[in-house]
Amino acid sequence: MKGTIRLPVQPKNVVVNPSAEELRKFAAEMPNAKRTEFKNLNIQTRVTARSKGSTYVVSDTPENHSDQTITREQYRKLAEMQDAYIREQDMVVIDGFIGNDLEFRTPARLIIEKANANIAGMQQQLYYTGDPVIGTDDFEPTLQIIYTPNLKAPGYPNDRAIAVDLENGITRVINSDYFGESKKAGLRMWNKIVYDRGGLSLHAGCKIIPVGDKKKTVLIIGLSGTGKTTTTFTKQNNSQPVQDDFTALMPGGKVYATESGCFAKTFGLDPKFEPTIHRAVVDPIAYLENVSQDEAGKLDFFDTSYTQNGRATFPMSKVEGAGDARNLEKASVLLILNRNENIIPAVVRLKGAQAAAYFMLGETKGTSAGGAEEAGKSLRVPGTNPFFPLLHAQQGNRMKELLATCDMEVYLMNTGRVGGTDDDDRSKKVKIPHSSAVVKGVAEGTIKWVQDPDFGYEVAESVPDFDDPELLQPRRLYERQGRLDEYKAMVERMKKERAEHLQKFKGLDPSLIDAIR
């Protein structure tokens, strides 16, 4: 569909809400796009991960934000430069909604260079676009992303800038051709909308697990690369995946969806362990980004010669048995994923302020999804949500408030290793079947728990279909290997570091700090 609509910028030419077929045609013309053996498109980008160091909240009151900011005057100069550039460009407009609940959905718009039509196509798969109001004068976007991958921003890191204007609901992305910047731009601004409505946006997948004649709503939070998508799509009790990446948790446990599709990490994608994701990724309408392929189009999901952060988008309609968030029961389980390699058990049960504290710690080992500056490093991202644009202490405080309004149980899951790194032959891997057994046991209430003497949380004494007690209680592994002194030293260090870390968040409820001592 071509037409003229009210835009905050004036392109040379604009294509408004083209069909999925038109967008694939535009994308196929890109010089960095290749057809794969499955007839879908694979695009190799210049930028292979999110550019956190180039991302700024626009504010003249930086004390109201934990992340870095630029002034409104700096933003004005960026906007003028981008607007002038767009006046000479062919652009594409994609309209849709973040969320599908009529009472909660947010109208959103992407304005992107036609030269990077794959980003438009990928975003179209994630927006909810089925409403007839789209394409009419009644569609008024609350959030807008103005995206110019081929314009440089001199003076900013890597000549790149992502400027987040929360006040006006506009994010400007300059000089990145990585799709994740489009996806997160809308969700980052949506974070504030949810918070202002009394809830909390979670960097979380969501699934429905049938247990007897009941259906349990399970939320899975974690940084990219911790196994959030894998856990969401694994089929315990013929469970139904609902959301892959972001959800809103409201008072009383009400959950809202955000996206009509999935942005999945493809590195290590094995049809044996992740058949649901694999089937969707190899569908002809999926878009691939930075996945290794040879000249004949054959894909290699295990090759990391270019990047380990290969990705794919696909509609949830391509996911067998996917559920609709509008039919969800109130949240009953929250799983906090932690990809670690020391003394964190495969699963622990958390309660009260302790649950909010571990949510706030957001500990994990960095993955390639966060770029080279994060890969392999120990990270602590509050609420495992690097896209919360306000003061991070507000996440922990709000989570404690929300937990007091509902019956949701909270668990910490380690999806990494116990006892050391992968090149340490004394260590053990928490494998996908282990994590799947944990999720099933949590949903069915079949795990036997005992109090951990060191950290005060509950650890599993046994989990059905889980074959390694040392992954459930790492102290056993360290004791058997004669490393108990190492274990005890690590306990004391972690308690100290955790308390010191939480104390850095100005305004954080003191009970969260006390809960992890």
How many Å apart are CA 5 and CA 358, to the nearest integer? 46
Nearest-angstrom CA–CA distance, 318 and 266:
16
Which of the two residues, 383 and 197, has the higher pLDDT score? 197
Do 291 and 416 reside in the same domain of the chain? no
How many whole angstroms separate alpha carbon 507 and alpha carbon 499?
14
Q: Sorting pLDDT into bands at 50, 70 and 90, what band is 2?
A: very low
The CA distance from 235 to 275, in Å, is 10
Residue ranges in 127-238 assigned as alpha helix (H): 180-196, 228-233
Same structural domain, 272 and 399: no
Average pLDDT of the segment spanning 63-85: 97
Q: 418, 411, 410, 291: which is closest to 365 by C-alpha?
A: 418
pLDDT at residue 370 greater than cutoff 80: no
- Please indicate, yes or no, if residue 36 is contained in any of the structural domains: no
Pick from 183-187, 222-226, 379-383: least confident: 379-383
Judged against a pLDDT cut of 50, whether residue 397 lies above it is answered with yes
| Interval 79-102: pLDDT, tens | 999 999 999 999 999 999 999 999
Q: What share of the chain is helix, strand, coil (3-state, %, to 5)?
A: 30, 25, 45
pLDDT in tens, 93-142: 999 999 999 999 999 999 999 999 999 999 999 999 999 999 888 899 99
Three-class HEC string of 307-328: CCCCEEEEEHHHCCCCCCHHHC
d(Cα 146, Cα 38) in Å, to the nearest integer? 32
Mark whether 334 and 477 lie in a shared domain: yes
The residue with tokens 């003191």 is 510
> Residue 426: what residue type?
R
Per-residue confidence (pLDDT) for residue 49, from 0 to 100: 94
- 145 and 98 both lie in a single domain: yes
Same domain, 382 and 428: yes
Q: How confident is the model at residue 402 (pLDDT cuts 50, 70, 90)?
A: very high
d(CA 109, CA 124): 10
Residue for token digits 């459930």?
A: 472
What was the pLDDT predicted at 368?
43
Model confidence band, residue 517 (pLDDT cutoffs 50, 70, 90): confident
147: β partners: 112, 173
Residue 510: band (very low, low, confident or very high) from pLDDT cuts 50, 70, 90: very high
What's the number of domains the chain is made of? 3
φ/ψ of residue 504, rounded to 5? -75, -20
Range of the domain at 390: 201-259+324-515
Instruction: Pull the structure tokens for residue 139.
Output: 């569609």
- Which residue, 302, 318, 334, sits at the end of a domain? 318
Q: How confident is the model at residue 506 (pLDDT cuts 50, 70, 90)?
A: very high
Asked if 16 contacts 1 with a C-beta cutoff of 8 angstroms, the reply is: yes
Confidence (pLDDT) at 376: 43
Mean pLDDT of 164-169: 98
Confirm if 241 and 322 have CB atoms less than 8 A apart: yes
Percent of the chain topping pLDDT 70: 96
CATH number of the domain residue 150 falls in: 3.40.449.10
pLDDT score recorded for residue 379: 60
214 in the same domain as 76: no
Q: What is the largest CA-CA distance in the chain?
A: 72
Distance of CA 415 to CAs 51, 336, 483, Å? 25, 10, 22
The CA distance from 280 to 301, in Å, is 14
pLDDT at 259: 97
Residue 238 and residue 138 in one domain: no
Same domain, 369 and 474: yes
Q: Are residues 97 and 205 in the same domain?
A: no
Distances in Å between the Cα of 133 and the Cα atoms of 128, 139, 256, 284, 315 are: 12, 6, 21, 28, 20
Least confident of 229-233, 247-251, 401-405: 229-233
Q: Answer yes or no: do 481 and 344 share one domain.
A: yes
* pLDDT band, very low/low/confident/very high, at 378 (cuts 50, 70, 90): low
Q: Within a domain: residue 188?
A: no
Looking at the structure, tell me whether residues 454 and 479 fall in a common domain: yes
> Is the predicted pLDDT of residue 375 greater than 50, yes or no?
no
Using the 8-state DSSP alphabet, how is residue 36 labeled? -
Are 111 and 10 a contacting pair, CB within 8 Å? no
Please list the alpha-helical segments (H only) found in 149-261: 180-196, 228-233
Crossing angle for the helix pair 393-403 and 352-361, to the nearest 10 degrees:
150
Residue 386 has pLDDT above 60, yes or no: yes
Residue 460 lies in a domain: yes
- Given a contact cutoff of 8 angstroms between Cβ atoms, the answer to whether 141 and 4 are in contact is no
Residue 35 lies in a domain: no
Look at residues 328, 286, 334 and name the one whose alpha carbon lies nearest to residue 310.
286
Q: What is the pLDDT of residues 275-293, one digit of tens each?
A: 999 999 999 999 999 999 9
For residues 272 and 482, what is the distance between their CA atoms, to the nearest angstrom?
A: 36
Question: Do 122 and 161 fall within a single domain?
Answer: yes
Whether residue 113 is contained in a domain is answered as yes
Q: What is the pLDDT of residues 238-255, one digit of tens each?
A: 899 999 999 999 999 999
Specify the CATH number for the domain of residue 278: 2.170.8.10
Task: Point out the domain boundary residue: 318, 334, 353.
Answer: 318
- Does residue 189 sit within a domain? no
What are the b/e assignments for 130-167, b being 16+ CB within 10 Å? ebeebeeeebebbbbbbbbbebebeebeeebbbbbbbe
Based on the number of CB atoms within 10 Å of its own CB, is 84 exposed (0-12), middle (13-18) or buried (19 or more)? Answer: exposed
Q: What's the pLDDT tens digit per position in 456-465?
A: 999 999 999 9
Amino acid at 435: S
Q: Which two tokens stand for residue 206?
A: 């969501």
d(CA 457, CA 455): 6
β 204-211/143-148 pair status: unpaired
pLDDT single digits (tens) 430-474: 999 999 999 999 999 999 999 999 999 999 999 999 999 999 999
Percent of the chain scored above 90 by pLDDT?
A: 87
Strand 204-211 with 214-221, pairing: antiparallel
Which two three-digit tokens encode residue 17? 């809400």
Which of 286, 318, 350 is the last residue before a domain boundary?
318
Q: In what order do the strands lie in the sheet with 69-70?
A: 13-16, 90-98, 106-113, 143-148, 170-174, 161-165, 55-58, 69-70
In a domain, 267, yes or no: yes
Confidence (pLDDT) at 453: 94
Instruction: Decide if 446 is inside a domain.
Output: yes
pTM, to two decimals:
0.91
